[in-house]
Amino acid sequence: MIVSEQDLVEQVKILSELRLPERARVLEAGCGTGPLLRELARQRPMWRLTGVDLSCGSLSLGCMAAAAERCGIDFLQLDLRKLPFADGSFDLVYTRDVLDHLEDREATLAELERVLHPDGVLILFERTTKSST
C-alpha cells in the first residue's frame, strides 16, 4: 500500500488501527529520529518496535528521545538493502518519505518484503507533488 500526503497524526492513526497481533513486530525503515515510532510506543505499548536508518546522528537523537519518553524502541544503524533479520520477522514494515532517498529502490523493496511476514502489511508513506496545469 502506498499512502500519500498524510501527516504524523494521520500516519499514526492508520498504523495503530491495523489488525495486527497484540505483540506485533514492527519495523520502520528509514526512521530518522523516530517520531512515529515513539507515538506508536505510546499508543501500542505491546508492539515490539524497531527503527533502522543509515544516519548515526538521527539514530542517536531518536535513542535519546525514546529514553526520555521511556519508549522501548530498538534503533539500529543498517543499510536497508541488507537487513540482518530472518525472513518473515515483522508483522508490519513501513517507510516515511524514504523512496526518493534510495540508491536502489528495487533491492530495498525486495529486502523489506523479505523481512515481512507472509500475512504482514507493508506501507510506504510518500509525499506526492501536485502538478500545476
- Structure confidence by residue, pLDDT tens digits, 83-117: 999 999 999 999 998 887 788 889 999 999 999 99
Supply the range of the domain harboring residue 99: 2-125
Q: For a pLDDT cut of 70, what percent of the chain falls above it?
A: 91
pLDDT at 133 over 50: no
- 133 occurs within a structural domain: no
Q: How many domains does the chain contain in total? A: 1
- 30 occurs within a structural domain: yes
The answer to whether 52 and 83 have CB atoms below 8 angstroms apart is yes
Q: How far apart are CA 36 and CA 96, in angstroms?
A: 9
Written as one letter, the residue type at 129 is: T
Q: In terms of pLDDT, which residue wins out, 3 or 50?
A: 50
- 132 occurs within a structural domain: no
- 80 occurs within a structural domain: yes
